[in-house]
Amino acid sequence: MTYATILIHAALTLGAIIVFSRMQGLRTFAKMSGFDFAITVSFGSILGASVMSPDTHVTVPLVALAALFALQIKAFRL
């Protein structure tokens, strides 16, 4: 585990959160229901886990974030 790896994982994961949030719009963090709050906490957990365990491949947290955003979009349309 090197500092460079940690910085790369943090930058990529945070960048993905920003990109997904922009794609989904303001509803991501505004007007939160209980489900939205749980999803938001999950985003932070994924970010923290990817930074603290850089042995995982960088695509794993990105796929997890994409899955959570997809679930949030699906729940919004129901």
pLDDT tens, residue by residue, 30-63: 666 777 778 888 988 998 888 888 788 889 999 9
Span 62-71, average pLDDT: 90
Dihedral Cα 39, 45, 46, 48, nearest 10 deg: 150
Q: Maximum Cα–Cα distance for the chain, whole Å? A: 44
Q: What is the mean pLDDT of residues 13-18?
A: 88
Q: Does the pLDDT value for residue 28 go beyond 60?
A: no
Ramachandran quadrant class, 30 (left: phi over 0; alpha: psi -120 to 50; beta: rest): beta
Q: What is the pLDDT of residue 29?
A: 55
